[in-house]
Amino acid sequence: MKKLAVAASLAALLAACSTAPTTPAPVQPAATPAAASDIAPASQPTAVTADPFKGFDKLDSNPALAKRSVYFDFDKYDVKDEYTELLANHAKFLKATGEAKVLVQGNTDERGSREYNLALGQKRAEAVSNNLKLGGAPEAQVEAVSLGKEKPKAQGHDEAAWAENRRADLVYSQK
Amino acid sequence: MMKFRHLLTVIVTLGLACLAGVSQAQLTVEISGAGSSRYPIGEPSFAGEALMKGSVTEVIRKDLDMSGMFRQIDGGNLLAVEGQAPDYNGWRGRGANAVLIGGITQGQGDLVDVRFHLYDVAAGTELFGYKKSVRPDQSRVLGHYIANLVYEKLLGMPGLFATNIAYVEKNGSQFRLMMSDFDGENAVPMLISREPIMSLTWSPDGQSIAYVSFDKKKPIIYIRRLANSFHTVLANYKGSNSAPVWSPDGHRLAIVLTRDGLSQIYLINSDGSGLRRLTSSSGIDTEPVFTPDGSQIYFTSDRGGSPQIYRMSVNGGGAQRVTFSGAYNVTPRLSADGKTLVYISRNDGRFQLTMMDLATQQTQVLTDSAKDESPSFAPDGRTILYATEVGGRGVLSVVSTDGRTRYRLNNRAGDVREPAWRPFEK
């Protein structure tokens, strides 16, 4: 319990210090235990003034980062307009949070060639990662890979399942 | 000179089975094809079958049935004695053009002697006669061997009864790279993984298999040599590594990488050296396959707005579009003579195995299923193994370019997919 409290206050401290606009690359101990950020309550009093996109803990605390899937039309890999804001938010987060790394996993529905779907999934992942980079996400923090139709999230064989599987996911890890 | 090449394979696969130490779910066969002009042959009979474990005639009969090329005629009470000419008139009366008669006797030591003769009923002559000494437990190997001799003698084409296939079996969350006889018997795992395995492709000498595994959470190309079960990484570049296919001389492979952003075709030596990019398009280029003379590559590309099949020189340069009808034509495969292209086309939402005569450009849909994938030519150049779906489960199906051979390999225990017919061993 005591540990928790320490972690929380530490997180609060960090969040507070990162608000100072003049602080260049604050002396953040980047190695703050990952666990600490996990338990940091979303409603820190300091969060009001903190950059809501800076710090790995914002993945959990900032609702603007909650959605991490982009859906596609059949045999298409262009990112639809409705995902502009979603991806802009994640780009902002990646730009602000140097220790965040995102793996963009492209998926397809079960119909058609496995290899062509693998390529299609890659194009979807590329389209999403290009979008992130255009939004300011540093190249080194973004990697696009494809799972093709090999790892379907929805197991069904109908339009609903296919639509769910025509998808690119943002999978985060901390450097 | 008769050689039991198949025997070696069986020994190798049995060895693998022991290593793997798992129980097998065999593929079962459902024959659905029935050509109109099948060759009438008398049902084979072998006296003394009890000396062997398993029936040789059963194996031969099933092989001839599966080929779809023969109609087997019951001999009734016609006498069939090994070493004596058959009752030609009797067989003629029953409509048979040929008949196979054999006999099994105790041989030296543990061996049995198997003698068999093929007769031309119409001409009243013996076409061949052989004697083989085998172990009593070799009825399957022997049966396939004899079926091949009969098939080749009567039809003038090599039979497939001693060949192997490889495929991927998905059981729950487990993926297994399997190798079996052509009819699904003797299935043994070559590799077991919790991650997907796909795109199996044999080296031209049948001694190695290349495949794509997601073992390391992304597609990487491996090569496995059968002789020692070693697997080595062929390509593990940034992004996806997939769609391997061997060049006819076996020295290099065409593969697909996304290291430079998009899926593009590269050439690489079979030892992983000498990587060279072949295509430079702004779209997807994938599923390469060499022409039998090694001079050209057919592949799938969406450069024209929809996935279509193209061909280009192995030295690079421009590509010509090959398929024009429909909005989805993928996964090209070429027959051994280079004259026939098969691929998967989407017709009214159904993905179907389709054949194109490259000389006339005439196309023909070969199946009535809806989820065909991954065609693989048998080494006879006329038989095609492909994956499809029946009742929501992946099965392997076989069809010949003339539609006469048609059967299905079913696995009740799980999904089977990604088949690759092993070449004749050289």
Distance CA B210, CA B201 (A): 5
Q: Which residue has the tokens 């998905």?
A: B170
Q: Which residue has the tokens 């730009």?
A: A95
Residue of B nearest to A113 (CA): B373
Q: What ranges do the domains of chain B cover?
A: 33-155, 164-421
Residue A7 has pLDDT above 50, yes or no: no
Query: What is the overall mean pLDDT for chain A?
Result: 80
- What's residue B426's pLDDT? 59
CA B171 to chain centre: 22
Q: Does A153 touch chain B (CB under 8 A)?
A: no
Q: Span A65-174: which CATH code?
A: 3.30.1330.60
Distance CA A70, CA A21 (A): 33
Residue A48 has pLDDT above 80, yes or no: no
Contact A118 B240 (CB under 8 A): yes
Amino acid at B348: D
B12-42 pLDDT per residue, tens: 333 343 333 344 456 777 776 555 678 999 9
B248-274 pLDDT per residue, tens: 999 999 999 999 888 999 999 999 999
User: Is residue B58 classed exposed, middle or buried when 0-12, 13-18 and 19+ CB atoms within 10 A define those classes?
Assistant: middle
B125-180 pLDDT per residue, tens: 999 999 999 999 999 999 999 999 999 999 999 999 999 999 999 998 999 999 99
**φ, ψ for residue B143, nearest 5 deg:** -60, -45
Residue B317 has pLDDT above 80, yes or no: yes
- What's residue B35's pLDDT? 53
Distance CA B413, CA A43 (A): 51
User: Residue A35 has which token pair?
Assistant: 């666990």
**Above pLDDT 90, what percent of chain A?**
66
Q: Does ipTM surpass 0.85 in this model?
A: yes
Distance CA A53, CA A92 (A): 6
Which chain B residues have a beta carbon less than 8 Å from that of A146?
219, 239-240, 258
B354-411 pLDDT per residue, tens: 999 999 999 999 999 999 999 999 999 999 999 999 988 999 999 999 888 889 998 7
Which chain A residues have a beta carbon less than 8 Å from that of B300?
113, 115-116
Q: Which CATH number fits domain B164-421: 3.40.190.10, 3.40.50.720, 2.120.10.30, 3.90.1640.10?
A: 2.120.10.30
Distance CA A97, CA A144 (A): 19
Which chain B residues have a beta carbon less than 8 Å from that of A143?
238
- Are B296 and B313 spatial neighbours (Cβ–Cβ below 8 Å)? yes
Q: How large is the average pLDDT for residues B323-337?
A: 96
Q: How large is the average pLDDT for residues B270-296?
A: 96
**Above pLDDT 70, what percent of chain B?**
92
Contact B199 A112 (CB under 8 A): no
**φ, ψ for residue B403, nearest 5 deg:** 80, 0
Q: What ranges do the domains of chain A cover?
A: 2-50, 65-174
A20-37 pLDDT per residue, tens: 344 344 444 444 444 444
Q: Does B307 touch chain A (CB under 8 A)?
A: yes
User: Is residue B391 classed exposed, middle or buried when 0-12, 13-18 and 19+ CB atoms within 10 A define those classes?
Assistant: exposed
Q: Does A76 touch chain B (CB under 8 A)?
A: no
Identify the band that residue A5 occupies on the pLDDT scale cut at 50, 70 and 90. very low
CATH class held by domain B33-155: alpha beta
Q: How large is the average pLDDT for residues B340-358?
A: 97
